[in-house]
A and B are shown apart, each in its own frame.
Chain A
Amino acid sequence: MLSVEGLEAGYGTARVLFGVSLEVAPGQLMCVMGRNGVGKTTLLNTIMGVLPATAGSVTFDGRDVTRLRPHERVRLGMGYVPQGHETFPQLSVMGNLQVALEAAPHKDGGAVDEALEVFPGLKPLLKRPAGFLSGGQQQQLAMARALVARPRLLILDEPTEGIQPSIIIEIEETIERLHRAGLAMLLVEQYLDLALRLADRFVILDAGHVARSGPARELQGEDVHRLLAV
Chain B
Amino acid sequence: MGGALNQLPIGLSIGAVLLLIALGLTFTFGQMGVINMAHGEFIMAGAYTAYLLQDVGFPIALPAAFLVAGLMGLALERVAIRHFYGRPLDTLLLTWGVSLVLQQAARDLFGAPNVQVVSPGWLRGSVGVLPYNRLFIMLLAALSVVAIWAYLNRSAPGRRMRAVMQNRGLAATTGIDTGRVDGLTFFIGSGLAGVAGVALTLIGPVGPTLGTYYIVDAFLVVVAGGLGQLKGAVLAAAGLGLLNSYAEFWTNASLAKVIVFVAIIGFLQFRPQGLFVLRSRALT
* Chain A interface (Cβ < 8 Å from any Cβ of B): 48, 50, 69-71, 74-75, 80, 82, 86-91, 95, 98-100, 102-105, 131, 145-146, 149
Contacts and interface: CB of A to CB of B under 8 A. Distances in A.
Of all A-B residue pairs in the complex, the 8 with the closest CB atoms, nearest first, are A103-B175, A74-B175, A70-B172, A80-B173, A88-B166, A102-B156, A103-B176, A86-B170
Given A88-B167, A89-B280, A131-B279, A74 B162 contact: no
Contacts of B111: none
Contacts of B172: 50, 69-71
Nearest to A131: B279
A88 B174 CA distance: 11
B160 interface: yes
A227 to B, nearest CB: 28
A74 B166 contact: no
Nearest to A78: B173
B87 interface: no
A104 B178 CA distance: 14
B231 interface: no
A98 B261 CA distance: 43
A71 B166 contact: no
Contact of B160 (A48, A70, A103, A145): A103
A74 B159 CA distance: 18
Given A99-B160, A103-B160, A91 B166 contact: yes
A111 to B, nearest CB: 12
A71 B178 contact: yes
Contact of A145 (B156, B174, B178): B174
Given A86-B170, A88-B167, A98 B175 contact: no
A90 B170 CA distance: 14
B162 A90 contact: yes
A75 B173 CA distance: 10
Contacts of B162: 88, 90-91
Nearest to B279: A89
A74 B173 contact: yes
Contacts of B178: 71
Given A71-B172, A71-B173, A80-B173, 15 more contacts: A50-B172, A74-B175, A82-B169, A82-B170, A82-B173, A86-B167, A86-B169, A88-B162, A90-B162, A90-B166, A91-B159, A98-B156, A103-B174, A145-B174, A149-B174
Interface of B is mostly: helix
Contacts of A69: 172, 177, 179
B175 A100 contact: yes
Interface of B: 156, 159-160, 162-163, 166-167, 169-179, 278-280
16 contacts: A48-B173, A50-B173, A71-B173, A71-B176, A74-B173, A82-B169, A86-B167, A87-B170, A90-B279, A91-B163, A91-B166, A95-B159, A104-B175, A105-B175, A131-B279, A145-B174
B25 to A, nearest CB: 20
Nearest to B155: A102
Contacts of B175: 71, 74-75, 100, 103-105, 149
Contacts of B167: 86-89
Contacts of A89: 166-167, 279-280
A88 B163 contact: yes
A230 B146 CA distance: 55
A146 B160 CA distance: 16
A50 B169 CA distance: 8
A143 to B, nearest CB: 12
A86 B163 CA distance: 12
Contacts of A145: 174
A133 to B, nearest CB: 14
Contacts of B176: 71, 99, 103
Nearest to B160: A99
Nearest to B172: A70
A74 B169 contact: no
Nearest to B173: A80
Nearest to A72: B177
Contacts of A87: 167, 170
Contacts of B159: 91, 95, 98-99, 102
Which of B162, B172, B279, B280: most chain A CB closer than 10 A?
Answer: B172
B177 A88 contact: no
A74 B176 CA distance: 9
A88 B280 CA distance: 9
A82 B167 CA distance: 12
A149 B171 CA distance: 13
B249 to A, nearest CB: 40
Nearest to A81: B173
